[in-house]
Amino acid sequence: MMKLNGWKRIGIIVSVIWILGAGAYTYDSEIDQASLPISRTYLSCDSAAKAPTSRDVLDQIAAGDAGGQPPLPRKATDSAPEPGTVPMPPGAISSDSLPVTPPPGYTVEVPVPPGGVLADSRDCHKQAEDSLTLAVKNARLDASLVALVPVPLGWGITYLVLFLVRWVKRGFTQPFPGG
């Protein structure tokens, strides 16, 4: 069994601390950097899922909340509308299926979240999950490189410096007379 002096033991302890500390720190920082765009993708997906449909916009217009536009004229009816419902003018909503167009003279602006909206929420979430998988894979690779590559380089540089110091010292030693 090889005997290790105090300096080699200290070097081994420092190497283990470096591998654990640098690996964990690099992994966490890579995941943190990747989380912002991935969370934006998820928010975009959620915004797309919560974006108003044409039916929602027409219900809003019919209720008189048309973003500063005048309310639709209402046809006087003899019977009162059912409680909890809004009377709709004839022709304002053709059916429950899309697309539904607003009445003439009304403009409809549907807000688009930053980064755009993907049509299908499942595709949007799949894209975000794929981004997360790729980020984790890249973070693991980066963390392992940062943790493992410097250790043999550090040991190699240390032994090179020790060799050079000893070599230079030997050059300054005086040869023994007669020997």
Question: What pLDDT digit, counting tens, does each position of 23-71 carry?
Answer: 999 999 998 888 887 787 777 776 666 655 555 555 666 665 555 555 5
Angle between helices 150-172 and 121-148 (to 10 degrees): 20
Rounded CA-CA distance 32/19 in Å is 20
Residues 6+ apart with CB under 8 A from 136: 31
Determine if the pTM surpasses 0.85: no
Model confidence pLDDT, tens digit, residues 147-163: 999 999 999 999 999 99
